[in-house]
Amino acid sequence: MNERIKRSRWLGASTVGFLFACWGVSSLAAGEAPLVVAASEPDIEAIVKEVGGNQVETFTLFQGCILKQHLTVDPAAKMKLLGANVLVWTGFMPEAGAIRLAVGSLPESPQKKTWNPAWINLSKGAVQVDPARATGGGWCEGDVNEFTTHGDPFFRLNPENGAVMANEVARELAKLRPDQKAYFEGNADAFAKVLARDIERWKETLKPLVGVRILCTQCGWQNFAKLGGPELLVCKRKPGCCPTPEALVKHVEEMKVAVILLDPHTMPNHVKALRTVPHVILADVPSSIGDLPGATSYAAIFDNFVEVLQKCSKELRGKS
């Protein structure tokens, strides 16, 4: 990561620390345990940590892309599910199906019989470019594939939704811990203020890329396009239909794509085909901090994305 971005993230962290100090540091009451929060993905978990602070303990339910056949809860997370007080998810029904299947498969116990966590749906109020919905049967029980699902649940990849998600987490956690309402709201406000400055920085950085056509193999990056800059194209062309590798290559050539951004969870046959396209810059870009070594903050995935785009822009200028 370049020095300017490192310095900006350090200043942002310092600002968060200052704002937290203004609100005061919350402490757990005697004998009171933190709320155990299960978050659907690492990026969402990062937001929960920012807002919940020392009032929460967190873990992630799913690893990798959730748009896959037979979505299942991570084995390590499955063993923790019955201890969760709160589930934070995207509103994407296969997540709920996979969670309920995981709990149903656990041995019978008094804890399982009384399991009734609070569910926090982060899609409330979020701007979604292409809301996920089912196009066929089988989807509600955790069975997800390109033939039964249309759209994407990746509205988290629009950083302007970050504050919306943080506020929803604060609002719902306050229902469980009313005495910590000001603490949660203060943390969410601090998070939103730092993120707003990051967003303005990213928008400015993206301006030189206006008009450049970029194919993203992770369809969720179309949400990031709300910030302006390059034209971000995605793979799916019809509802519930992933194109063949040959059709995708043809699409790239027809659209005169200049850059292809490969997600680490892209199907191998598609990656192999895309690497054969001539005169196109290819770069590997994860869409979750779970695939970005060392990343712990929600903003880190966007810092990395913008940095990769800057490198591609420099390479494009070198070709012209």
Q: pLDDT band for position 138 (50/70/90)?
A: very low
Distance CA 299, CA 285 (A): 15
Return mean pLDDT, the chain.
86
Helical (H) or strand (E) element with 75: helix 75-78
224 exposed, middle or buried (CB, 10 Å; 0-12, 13-18, 19+)?
buried
User: Identity (one letter) of the amino acid at 270?
Assistant: H
What DSSP designation does 138 have? T
Q: Which fold has domain 12-200?
A: Rossmann fold (3.40.50)
CB 87 within 8 A of CB 119: yes
Token reading at 223: 């949400």
Handedness of CA 264, 267, 272, 276 (dihedral sign): negative
pTM: 0.86
CB 164 within 8 A of CB 304: no
Tell me: the pLDDT tens digits for 37-91?
Answer: 999 999 999 999 999 999 999 999 999 888 877 889 999 999 999 999 999 999 8
Region 124-131: mean pLDDT is: 86
Q: Which residue has the higher pLDDT, 275 or 15?
A: 275
- Fold matches, 12-200 and 202-319: yes
> Which pLDDT does position 139 carry in this prediction?
38
Token reading at 314: 């420099």
Q: Is the pLDDT of residue 287 over 70?
A: yes
CB 122 within 8 A of CB 39: no
Name the residue ranges covered by the structural domains of the chain: 12-200, 202-319
Tell me: the pLDDT tens digits for 180-213?
Answer: 999 999 999 999 999 999 999 999 999 999 999 9
3-state SS class at 37: strand
CB 136 within 8 A of CB 146: no
Tell me: the pLDDT tens digits for 211-260?
Answer: 999 999 998 899 999 999 999 998 765 545 678 899 899 989 999 999 99
Tell me: the pLDDT tens digits for 20-47?
Answer: 434 446 666 656 899 999 999 999 999 9
Place of tokens 């069975």: 143
> Which pLDDT does position 5 carry in this prediction?
43
Q: Which residue has the higher pLDDT, 264 or 68?
A: 264
Place of tokens 């020392």: 54
Residues 6 or more apart whose Cβ sits within 8 Å of residue 35: 52, 55, 56, 57, 85, 86, 173, 176, 177
What phi and psi values does residue 127 have, to the nearest 5 degrees? -85, 125
Class of domain 202-319: alpha beta
Residues 6 or more apart whose Cβ sits within 8 Å of residue 168: 120, 121, 122, 124, 125
